[in-house]
Structure 1
């Protein structure tokens, strides 16, 4: 197995992967290679859009690539922050307008940081 270094076409993060893995990822995302964080974000957004029959992975990919282009200064931080927000939503953490977080079940916010 030959390892190749490849850049994410969304956030420009570099990962070392096998050629077979690279090909598999490209098959799933219209010939574009995405890092693990970006691919999960695109899958999540595509899953949210399943309610609309016209929303597809291509739409989620385009939206995510546009988001990443807006944050090119330090994409890893912004992608990680987006994933953190997604995980908080899934775990029941509500984020208030002022940016503070409060969890269901009465857990303290400090446990999240």
Structure 2
């Protein structure tokens, strides 16, 4: 089973998936690969309202929505923080990932929160 990294064409999230899964998702969403959250949003868009969207229209509408959100500076800052925390958590040894076992018994926050 071959695994490949797929990038959501709406929000940019990357996921490792089998080639078969990537093909299935693209077949459902007008040839575009969407992450789980975006695919649910598109499905919801297709099914709601008095006049349901066609799949192609729903995908385009959601891609436009994601593009507007990405241009918001607050979202970019939050995304940067998320990426930084993800990288930091990957750098920590597995034994220090448990908050209770790695926390110091002192009241100083300098060892727990390096930015203070």
Q: Does residue 51 of structure 2 align to residue 52 of structure 1?
A: yes
Q: Map of 1:7-22 to 2, 5 A cutoff?
A: 7-22=7-22
Counterpart CA distance in 1 for 2:8 and 2:39 is 9
| 1:61-80 aligned within 5 A | 61-72=59-70, 74=75
**1:78-89 to 2 correspondence within 5 Å?**
none
How many aligned positions are there? 75
> What are the residue-to-residue correspondences of 1:19-38 with 2, within 5 Å?
19-38=19-38
The normalised TM-score by structure 2 is 0.59
Unaligned runs of 5+ in 2: 80-116
Query: Residue 17 of structure 1: SS of its match in structure 2?
Result: strand
The structure having more radius of gyration, on CA atoms, is 2
Residue 103 (structure 1) aligns with: none
Moved over 4 A (4+): none
**Higher-strand-fraction structure:** 1
Structure 1 unpaired stretches of 5+: 79-113
